[in-house]
Amino acid sequence: MTSTTTAPTVTLRGGAHIPQLGFGVFQVPDGETAQAVSLALDAGYRSIDTAAAYGNEKGVGASIASSGLPRDEVFVTSKLWVDDMARDAVRPALERSLDRLGLDRLDLYLIHWPAPGLGRHVEAWEELVALRDAGLVREIGVSNFEPEHLDAIIAATGVVPAVNQVELHPAFQQRALREHHRELGIVTEAWSPLGQGTVLGDPVLAAVAAAHGVTPAQVVLRWHLQAGTVAIPKSVTPERIAANLDVLGFELSADQVAAIDGLDRTDGRIGPEPDAFTG
């Protein structure tokens, strides 16, 4: 297969272009993050997904700074943690993230969880709109929002999130939520796009992988691309970091896509239930 290292991009509501494949750093210790992100940037990733809650924004920032890449060539996402969703807490939380990252602006800032039990997702969204209007973030979005949470913030502000970053992989495909996104013009971003590795042993994926001479992980990431979602796989393994981006040299047939679509399960969720999660 042909190797290429530039991911296609998707245009967000505010006009920014987000690479369809980015590099996630959840559960990477801060001390190891700079090295992992440097490997990713060397491999050709131009989008990094971090969060205040990951405790590794400093490592991400150090790596971007030492890469020598122009700032506008790396798309940087971070997230507002649930403890900082009160109106007065939002801007200081963003400023701390920017400080740790060594940046003066984020490309995308997300509300990490709706935490409806806390009742603060609408005011947090109003504050994100203000941060965008102040030029501190280019695009604003949310994460782990269910349709009713999206509807509530849009009804209150008239502002539609650019992105909803949600758990999405072959065992948990979020069809109804994706349809809601399509109707609203929200880009779907897949977290745990490889199901944290748990889906990769599936025989359907093995057969498709063998047919193309690629790995099951590459098949899954190609499936995300062909579905139009943005995916942010994480790895600290150099060969996997490179291979996970190397998915542009083959194409899944309609039958292969249908076979992977068939792996969706009602009990496939790995992470928390968004309605119940309060941090």
Residue 66 or residue 237: which is nearer to ligand NDP going by CB?
237
Site for ligand NDP in 244-263 (CB under 6 A): 244
Q: What is the three-class DSSP state of 57?
A: helix
Residue type, 116: P
Q: Determine the residue with CB nearest ligand NDP.
A: 24
What is d(CA 225, CA 231) in angstroms, rounded to the nearest whole number?
Answer: 8
**Rounded least distance, CB 203 to ligand NDP, Å:** 16
Told to check if 170 binds ligand NDP by CB under 6 A, we report no
| DSSP H stretches of helix in the chain | 30-43, 57-67, 87-101, 121-133, 147-157, 175-184, 203-212, 216-227, 238-245, 254-261
Told to check if 233 binds ligand NDP by CB under 6 A, we report yes
54 is catalytic: yes
Site for ligand NDP in 126-155 (CB under 6 A): 143-144
H/E segment holding residue 140: strand 137-143
Site of tokens 């996970």: 244
Residue 15 or residue 212: which is nearer to ligand NDP going by CB?
212
Task: Please identify which residue in 9, 196, 249, 257 interacts with ligand NDP, judged by CB under 6 A.
Answer: 196
Q: What angle in degrees, to the nearest 10, is found between the helix axes of 147-157 and 175-184?
A: 20
User: Degrees (nearest 5) of the Cα angle 76, 7, 67?
Assistant: 50
Site for ligand NDP (CB under 6 A): how many residues? 28
Task: Please identify which residue in 19, 59, 161, 193 interacts with ligand NDP, judged by CB under 6 A.
Answer: 193
Told to check if 59 binds ligand NDP by CB under 6 A, we report no
Binding stretches for ligand NDP (CB under 6 A): 24-26, 49, 112, 143-144, 165, 191-197, 200, 215, 217, 232-237, 240, 243-244, 271
**Which positions are catalytic?**
54
